[in-house]
Amino acid sequence: MGKTNGRDGSERALDEAMEDRAAGGGLLDRRIFLGGALGGGVAAGTGLAVSTQAEAQGLTVPPWMKAPGSNFVGYGQPSKHEAKTVRTFAHAPNVPGTGSARTPHHLLNGTITPNGLHFERSHSGIPDIDPDAHRLLVHGMVKRPLTFTLEALARYPMESQIAFIECGGNSLGLYGEKPPQGNAQALHGLVSCAEWTGVRLKVLLAEAGVAPKASWVLAEGADSAGMSRSVPLAKAMDDAMIALYQNGERVRPSNGYPMRLLLPGYEGNMQVKWLRRIKVMDAPAMVRDETSKYTLLTKDGTSQQFFFPMEAKSIITHPSPGLTMRGKGLYEISGLAWSGNGKIARVDVSADGGKSWARAALQEPVLSKALTRFRMAWNWDGGPAPLQARATDSSGYVQPTRAKLIADRGAKAFYHFNGISSWSVGANGEIVHVYA
Ligand SMILES: Nc1nc2c(c(=O)[nH]1)N[C@H]1C(S)=C(S)[C@@H](COP(=O)(O)O)O[C@H]1N2
Ligand SMILES: [Mo]
């Protein structure tokens, strides 16, 4: 390293950045982590890494360098040291397979959820579908009803789309009077993001020939719940997809094998798994999951039906409950933001319970209706600190505070919780969920 780029320069840059406070509570300018300008300075200045000298002294030959490693396997698995990175789930009493399994966001990074960790919500277990026997029927108000085998569908032009899916019931505990205790997985784990590949629904509808008066479609699953939802024809003709692949491989059985309906940005319940039927109609079918369930209870006790997009929301994944703070100093606050109405435009972070905010850096590429990773540099002074994130999407919509959400919807609201949530970092380094 030349003198101008050397450790002296980096240390100075760190000092300057430390002074470049973006908001109260130790939040630093978002540029601090960008471009690696602080590589040496971060290590030297804050003790995040072992110093080079000490490392050189400790450079011995570890056991795994002394013998050849293990053999190849047909389908790879995560390291045995990552055995805690799993979904967590509870079954509804006496109903095997019914319930949900949650994504461990506090143990992951980036924006794509590995297939084995994508959250799952199933109303009647995971059907064991023979892909050769499965059929997709497109019928109702069409000129030509059509039946597709998986083989036939695979010959259509395909597209890929990175999209989040969030259950309408994600985070619903936060409507409660007292802050539920749990980690990001337990409280917010019913959201995941994958690259989905398949055939646009509009291609199949065009081939079937939709009647001019049609305005809705009914999607039905091949599970024993026969789970069904009505979808506006406009969405079906827009970015709706019959997804056959998930992160490059066939959709997992738990996520809809051999095909599911993908409705980017819409509540998870409508994205019918194990899809077997699309019926074109001129009115919604008023099935159970859009009448008795998945409606939005409002303040005056009436229910709002057909509230489809999941609105802008963010959660901090690091630090978060279950992760340990190792003394004061420099940390990265990082998390996920998403909006069913477009792209994330900005995320602001607060380390003083919402009194002051600083703009976080967004990881590129920022994609519409996909999870977006945000990052913020933070110099923790070792004292109590309530951490919050607030997302704004490309429509200008700003994630509301929990208080505002409840004032608007009433205390009995259940679905679509997207209020700002808070982690409190205690002086002992323990992190808990609070209402700040
Ligand atoms: N056929 C069928 N589709 C279904 C469900 C179901 O139980 N059966 N659950 C729905 C619900 S409530 C959600 S939130 C999403 C979850 O999708 P995932 O399990 O792939 O994460 O699937 C939806 N599609
Ligand atoms: Mo759901």
pLDDT tens for each residue of 157-202: 999 999 999 999 999 999 999 999 999 999 999 999 999 999 999 9
Q: Which domain holds residue 169?
A: 121-285
Mean pLDDT, rounded, for 378-382: 95
Q: Which ligand is nearest to the CA of 415?
A: 2
Mean pLDDT, rounded, for 383-398: 97
Residue 250 lies in a domain: yes
The finding on whether 274 has its CB within 6 A of some atom of ligand 1 is yes
* Distances 290 to 201, 221, 236, 287, 296 between C-alpha atoms, Å: 21, 15, 17, 6, 10
pLDDT score for 356: 97
Report how far residue 405's alpha carbon sits from residue 219's, in angstroms, rounded to the nearest whole number.
31
**Which residues are registered as beta bridge partners of 250?**
245
* Distances 378 to 20, 31, 319, 334 between C-alpha atoms, Å: 11, 12, 11, 10
pLDDT tens for each residue of 295-317: 888 888 888 888 999 999 999 99
pLDDT tens for each residue of 98-110: 899 999 999 999 9
Task: Name the residues around ion ligand 2, CB cutoff 5 A.
Answer: 121, 167, 268-269
CATH code of 184's domain: 3.90.420.10
Tell which one of 227, 252, 288 to mutate to probe ligand 1, the residue whose CB is within 8 A of the most ligand atoms. 227
Residue 87 lies in a domain: no
- Inform me whether the pLDDT recorded for 48 exceeds 70: no
Q: Is 220 helix (H, G, I), strand (E, B) or coil?
A: strand
Chain position carrying tokens 């959660």: 315
| Contacting residues for 22 by C-beta, under 8 A, at least 6 apart | 28, 29, 30, 358, 359
Residue 133 lies in a domain: yes
Q: Please give the number of the atom of ligand 1 that sits closest to the Cα of 273.
A: 3
- Which residue's CA is minimally distant from atom 11 of ligand 1? 269
Chain position carrying tokens 């002294």: 57
More confident residue, 2 or 379: 379
Residue 136's H or E segment, with its range, is strand 136-140
Report how far residue 324's alpha carbon sits from residue 232's, in angstroms, rounded to the nearest whole number.
46
Do 230 and 290 touch, CB atoms closer than 8 A? yes
pLDDT score for 36: 54
Residue 196 lies in a domain: yes
- Inform me whether the pLDDT recorded for 251 exceeds 90: yes
As a dihedral over the C-alpha atoms of residue 303, residue 304, residue 306, residue 307, rounded to 10 degrees, the angle is -120
pLDDT score for 5: 38
Report how far residue 241's alpha carbon sits from residue 163's, in angstroms, rounded to the nearest whole number.
11
pLDDT score for 300: 86
Average pLDDT, the chain: 91
Residue 282 banded pLDDT, cuts 50, 70, 90:
very high
Residue 18 lies in a domain: no
Residue 307 lies in a domain: no
- Inform me whether the pLDDT recorded for 217 exceeds 60: yes
Residue 221 lies in a domain: yes
Q: What single DSSP character describes residue 322?
A: T
Residue 75 lies in a domain: no
Tell which one of 100, 123, 129 to mutate to probe ligand 1, the residue whose CB is within 8 A of the most ligand atoms. 123
Domain tally for the chain? 1
Tell which one of 115, 271, 416 to mutate to probe ligand 1, the residue whose CB is within 8 A of the most ligand atoms. 271
Residue 234 banded pLDDT, cuts 50, 70, 90:
very high
pLDDT score for 354: 95
